[in-house]
Structure 1
Amino acid sequence: MVNKYGIEALDRTMRDILRFNNSRSEEQPFGGKTIVFGGDFRQILPVIPKETRQEIVNAIINSSYIWNSCKLMTLMKNMRLEGANGNQSCRELKEFADWILSIGDGRCGRSMDGADNVEIPDDILIKEWDDPIVAICREIYPEMMSGMNCDMQVEDRAILATTLELVDEINRYMKSLNPTEAQTYFSSGKACPTENNNDILASVHILELLNTIRCSGVQTTT
């Protein structure tokens, strides 16, 4: 996700610094030092506001002059499969991982009218449902629907959601299935000022405002 200009700036800086100890460093990538880049081109590209698709693609490292000096190394061992219990589970995970990779490599599906159509396997597809939240919760946590003790199943499984609002809906529904009596804990909260003489900011960042902030990675407590 790093813009190629940042990498090229590092390259020029290291060449400039290291040339005082070794004159040949000025002609070597990163001054002759080995640099390891970790990432996956199937994931998100650099975020460049208000730029076109072509300009965004042109900002990644394989569009840089540095790329010609890079050696591409691919991870060959799937660590999730290594931790799978049982041959059946390992085989299922491998088949799913290979299917996901085939989509990323463009080997899965067919192109029609300029759009790529990918067929979803039946074993991971929910075909019939009235309420989507109820349907996916029933599919992922069938033991909870039948009232069984499913602590281990809850720990080993998860539902991915696209928005925080959808996360809250799923959490509310799952909590409604919990037969345990609810406990209410009361607390008090206040905004901790970073500076003693900053009354203006303290009056702006009131608890009501802070509790309305809803974004990934931020948690507010009252």
Structure 2
Amino acid sequence: MIHKHGFKALDRSLKDIFSSKSGKSSDLPFGGKVLKLSKHLRLTTSNESFQVEQTRLFANWLLHIGEVNAGDQNTGEAIIKIPEDLLIKHSIDPISDLIEFVYPSILDNFKRLNFFHEREILAPKNDIVHEINERLLSLFPEMKGNI
């Protein structure tokens, strides 16, 4: 997640960089340059054909959403059908289940060099991000003198 001021600063910078003599690109968002996700670089696969196919399908689904093809019109809102295998069903505490799924045995693994680089939780709103962060931080034992 990035703060809205980061996007505004990027927008102003790109408008300045790409402004033409006519000044038309200074009126366009991001100076008229459209940044498009064409490949999900974080997805990794094994060599097993089933895993490769599953990853390919998931990557295409992400691209489909990123290109705003999931809804009928581009109104800023869309209903997106989440695949059944990605849903957390019948849970008393879905956030804890999500944390355990993404960060298995976190207390045993958090000191591993790439443990957090290999996984992430994305959330649509800052209040959800803050709740997940608070839950994660509450799992760690106090580290006196290590700060």
TM-score under structure 2 normalisation? 0.53
Over 3 Å counting, the alpha-carbon distance change for 1:9 and 1:175 in structure 2 is closer
Are 1:119 and 2:81 matched, yes or no?
yes
CA distance in structure 1 between the aligned counterparts of 2:134 and 2:64, rounded to whole angstroms:
36
Residues 60-112 of structure 1 show CA distances to partners (whole Å, capped at 9, x for unaligned) of: xxxxxxxxxxxxxxx5xx3617x735235544432212012233353x5789x
1:87 match: 47
Over 3 Å counting, the alpha-carbon distance change for 1:90 and 1:174 in structure 2 is same
CA distance in structure 1 between the aligned counterparts of 2:20 and 2:61, rounded to whole angstroms:
37
For residue 9 of structure 1, report the CA deviation from its aligned partner.
6.3
1:174 match: 136
CA distance in structure 1 between the aligned counterparts of 2:82 and 2:71, rounded to whole angstroms:
9
1:143 match: 105
- The alignment partner of 2:59 has SS state of helix
Over 3 Å counting, the alpha-carbon distance change for 1:130 and 1:182 in structure 2 is same
Over 3 Å counting, the alpha-carbon distance change for 1:105 and 1:141 in structure 2 is same
C-alpha contact 2:91 2:97 (8 A) present in aligned 1: yes
Over 3 Å counting, the alpha-carbon distance change for 1:102 and 1:168 in structure 2 is closer
Over 3 Å counting, the alpha-carbon distance change for 1:37 and 1:91 in structure 2 is same
CA distance in structure 2 between the aligned counterparts of 1:168 and 1:132, rounded to whole angstroms:
15
Structure 2 gaps, min length 5: 1-6, 24-31
CA distance in structure 1 between the aligned counterparts of 2:21 and 2:59, rounded to whole angstroms:
36
- The alignment partner of 2:95 has SS state of helix
Max Rg structure: 1
For residue 118 of structure 1, report the CA deviation from its aligned partner.
3.1
C-alpha root-mean-square deviation of aligned residues, in Å? 4.1
Aligned runs of 1:65-214 on 2, under 5 Å? Answer: 78=39, 80=41, 84-88=44-48, 90-103=52-65, 104=67, 106=69, 108=70, 117-144=79-106, 148-149=108-109, 151=112, 152-161=114-123, 162-163=125-126, 165-179=127-141, 181-184=142-145
Over 3 Å counting, the alpha-carbon distance change for 1:148 and 1:91 in structure 2 is farther
CA distance in structure 2 between the aligned counterparts of 1:182 and 1:86, rounded to whole angstroms:
36
For residue 137 of structure 1, report the CA deviation from its aligned partner.
0.9
Residues 99-134 of structure 1 show CA distances to partners (whole Å, capped at 9, x for unaligned) of: 12233353x5789xxx96432112211112223421
Over 3 Å counting, the alpha-carbon distance change for 1:119 and 1:110 in structure 2 is farther
CA distance in structure 1 between the aligned counterparts of 2:115 and 2:94, rounded to whole angstroms:
21
Paired-residue identity, %: 26
C-alpha contact 1:110 1:118 (8 A) present in aligned 2: no
Report how many aligned residue pairs link the two structures. Answer: 118
CA distance in structure 1 between the aligned counterparts of 2:40 and 2:98, rounded to whole angstroms:
27
Structure 1 gaps, min length 5: 14-35, 43-74, 187-222
TM-score under structure 1 normalisation? 0.39
2:35 match: 39
Runs of 4+ displaced beyond 4 Å: 6-9, 108-111
Residues 146-173 of structure 1 show CA distances to partners (whole Å, capped at 9, x for unaligned) of: x54353443311122321x443432332
